[in-house]
């Protein structure tokens, strides 16, 4: 698997969430994603970026553009050093929220991705990695 582009950006404020959307859009366009695929990965990025800011106390996003044979993909890795997610299975359930959202962030972002994994434990922060392929 070839990495064609690799950048890291801060995810600390709600302005950063907007910048994340724009950066992911730019990479998805460059990777040749259709409009629907662009919209899906940008929406997934927006959900996870907001979690990083609101629950993780801020963190970073690494955006990679990947090539595997004829396929191209965009992989996003959100990392924070926040309190972590005590019950991952619960956090992945539709409608579950620890804040005042709709509880669709994690489960919705997973549905919008081809690959999705979360590593988290209390006090250890959270890493969410997702990818979408064209």
Partner 1 sequence: MGEIPILKIGDCLLVSIQVDMHDRMAMALQDDLTERIVATKARGVMIDISALEIVDSFIGRMLNSIAAMSRVLDAVTVIVGMRPAVAITLVELGLELSGVQTALNVDRGLTMIRRIIDADEQADAGRGR
- Tell me which DSSP letter residue 125 carries: -
Shortest distance (Å) from residue 3 CB to partner 1? 26
Count of alpha carbons within 13 angstroms of residue 101, beta-carbon side: 19
Q: Does 2 bind partner 1 (CB under 8 A)?
A: no
4 versus 115: smaller Cβ distance to partner 1: 115
Residues 51-80 that bind partner 1 (CB under 8 A): none
Span from 2-10, 77-85, 102-110, 122-130 in contact with partner 1 (CB under 8 A) = 102-110
- H or E element in which residue 128 lies: strand 126-133
Residue 18 neighbours by CB distance under 10 Å: 12
Q: CA-to-CA distance for 88 and 70, rounded, in angstroms?
A: 34
What residues from 3 to 42 belong to the interface with partner 1 (CB under 8 A)? 14-15, 17-18, 21-22, 25, 35-36, 38-40, 42
């Amino acid at each position: 698997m070839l990495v064609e582009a690799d950048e890291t950006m801060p995810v600390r404020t709600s302005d950063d969430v907007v910048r994340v959307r724009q950066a992911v859009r730019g990479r998805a366009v460059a990777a040749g994603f259709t409009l629907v695929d662009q919209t899906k990965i940008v929406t997934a990025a927006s959900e996870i970026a907001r979690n990083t800011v609101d629950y993780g106390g801020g963190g970073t996003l690494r955006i990679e553009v990947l090539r595997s044979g004829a396929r191209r993909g965009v992989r996003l890795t959100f990392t924070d050093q926040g309190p972590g997610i005590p019950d991952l299975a619960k956090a992945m359930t539709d409608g579950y929220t620890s804040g005042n959202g709709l509880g669709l962030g994690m489960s919705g972002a997973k549905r919008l991705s081809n690959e999705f994994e979360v590593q988290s434990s209390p006090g250890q922060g959270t890493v969410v990695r997702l990818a979408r392929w064209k």
